């Protein structure tokens, strides 16, 4: 799926509630609609983000660290927490980006664990 397939999550004016998501490693920030997952925010920003299981919470390839704005996300469900137990480098703020949906307006900062397969698209 190309970044253009995710453009519908972007907010280009102030007419609706939104959140900004800053991807620290790539120094990229996007404004997205509430309800958008961190994964889809990254894809809309032009980042190549892996989700090997197809966003069904069966793997941990989309693991990210939310360093600011964790309170803006929907609470993780038990299934996400169980899947995160299989990930490496878990710490406070660890989330599966496919399951971390933005519920409140504000600003999030997202980092990638070292060695992740997530990288800026060319």
pTM strictly above 0.85 = yes
CATH class of 3-113: alpha beta
What proportion of the chain, given as a percentage, has pLDDT over 90? 73
CA–CA distance, 61 with 88 (Å, rounded to integer) = 10
Query: Residue 5's pLDDT is what?
Result: 61
| Confidence band for 2, pLDDT divided at 50, 70 and 90 | very low
pLDDT reading at 101 higher than 70? yes
Going from the C-alpha of 50 to that of each of 32, 40, 79, 118, the distances in angstroms are: 19, 11, 19, 6
């Amino acid at each position: 799926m190309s970044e253009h397939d995710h453009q519908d999550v972007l907010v280009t004016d102030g007419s609706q509630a939104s959140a900004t998501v800053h991807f620290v490693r790539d120094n990229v920030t996007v404004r997205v609609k509430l309800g958008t997952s961190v994964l889809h925010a990254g894809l809309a920003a032009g980042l190549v983000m892996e989700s090997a299981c197809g966003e069904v919470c069966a793997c941990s390839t989309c693991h990210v660290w939310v360093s600011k704005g964790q309170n803006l996300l929907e609470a993780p469900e038990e299934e996400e927490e169980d899947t995160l137990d299989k990930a490496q480098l878990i710490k406070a703020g660890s989330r599966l980006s496919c399951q971390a949906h933005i519920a409140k307006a504000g600003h999030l900062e997202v980092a990638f664990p070292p060695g992740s397969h997530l990288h800026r698209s060319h």
